[in-house]
Amino acid sequence: MIDVQRNQFDQVNRLLDMFPAVLVTGVRQGGKTTLARMCRPDWESHDLENPADFDTIERDPVFFFKQKPSRLILDEAQELPVIFKVLRGVIDDRRREKGRFLITGSSSRDLLASASESLAGRIAIVELGTLKTNEIVGAPLSAFYDIFKTPLGESSAQRLLSLATTITREDVLRSFLRGGYPEPVTSSLPGFHDAWMSNYFKAYVDRDVRALFPRLDLVKYRRLITMLAHLSGQLINRSELGRSIEADEKSVRDYLDIAHGTFVWRNYRNFERSRSRAMVKMPRGGVRDSGLLNHLLKIGTPEQLDGSPFVGRYFENFICEELIKGLQATDVFNWEYFYYRTRNGAEIDLVLSGDFGLLPIEIKYGVKTDTRKLSTLKRFVRDRDLPLGIVINNADRPELIADRIVQLPANFI
């Protein structure tokens, strides 16, 4: 794996200073192991997907951790969930000592449940996505994310208007096409990107999902993921989707949860602070990595992507992921993401909610946004008396384009 400076490098190091253990979780081949070894290059490392390492620990995990009670990297911990129960006793023997274990894990609700239940108060959990655009080009994380460190207020818009960046529009569009899996994105070998994506998707379904869910109908699941690529950024009608793959609605619900839990797909809930019947109850979602999305859609060139009738929707999905990756790299912990849609079609692409307040965000693919098409965003800001809403597009510079509405070019996030 190529060594790329990750936005979460400092975050992981800070958390190791505060907790006995840190778990870095996320999609397979997203760079978790590389990040762990960059954070602690002098620590001993054991890979639980390596049969020799697995047997060494599984044979007698209590004895293993007595011999190695700290300064240890454990890769792919989902392969041996029992270690979390053992680690609880190991950590409690020297409860005040911080920074003892750095753990990585690729997937599943079971992994997070094991860590949270067995090591509550003893472990910090970090989710690592594929590379964000700034990581690919070697730029620092945008100062845009500083606005989330304090409650949003009157000064927030002015801070956004004064942002600067070294990232270009072309950098963003290249990332939109190729995605952020470290190995194919950083390779210059002709044809390698497509070959890697094809083999990755096959291995994800035939190996990873099969191992985690051995009774799953893999044929239907593979068809579902391919169909979901076309539905990225749209509302999901589980009944219709089930009919398309010849599965019942419960199976589709389970498949969506599996895709979300293995970090390939992201489910979004609709934002509602009341039980209004005017709100749409259907889920929305998207393939998390735009490179994998474009591979599944058989889009391989900028011309094909720009010529797609759904390029705007795919760009919305890409920018949502960029924003979520950016927030995940900060020390802002109490936040959530939503979409917003009413039954009469009023829609906002992303709503961020946290200790900082509410921030509604509209996303447009073009370089100019017609403010007449922002009526829902304006109303959302006005009705809730918010300090600002944001429009992200491909414009040249940040600009105040309406009362309390800031236009922010995608290369500034």
Structure confidence by residue, pLDDT tens digits, 275-293: 555 566 788 999 999 999 9
Output the pLDDT for position 319: 98
Tell me the C-alpha distance between 201 and 219, whole Å.
13
Output the pLDDT for position 2: 57
Structure confidence by residue, pLDDT tens digits, 96-128: 999 999 999 987 666 777 787 889 889 999 999
How confident is the model over 188-198, as a mean pLDDT? 95
Output the pLDDT for position 1: 46
Output the pLDDT for position 279: 61
What does the mean pLDDT of the chain come to? 93
Write out the chain in H/E/C secondary structure: CCCCCCCCHHHHHHHHHHCCEEEEEECCCCCHHHHHHHHCCCCEEEECCCHHHHHHHHHCHHHHHHHCCCCEEEECHHHCCHHHHHHHHHHHHCCCCCCCEEEEECCCHHHHHHHHHHCCCCEEEEEECCCCHHHHHCCCCCHHHHHHHCCCCHHHHHHHHCCCCCCCHHHHHHHHHHCCCHHHHHCCCCCHHHHHHHHHHHHHHHHHHHHHCCCCCHHHHHHHHHHHHHHCCCECCHHHHHHHHCCCHHHHHHHHHHHHHCCCEEEEEECCCCCCCCECCCCEEEECCHHHHHHHCCCCCHHHHHCCCCHHHHHHHHHHHHHHHHHHCCCCCCEEEEEEEECCCCEEEEEEEECCEEEEEEECCCCCCCHHHHHHHHHHHHHCCCCCEEEEECCCCCEEEECCEEEEEHHHC
Question: Above 80 in pLDDT, residue 295?
Answer: yes
Domains of the chain: 9-128 (3.40.50.300), 134-412 (no CATH)
Under 8 Å between Cβ of 252 and 237: no
The CA-to-CA distance between both ends of the chain, in Å, stands at: 26
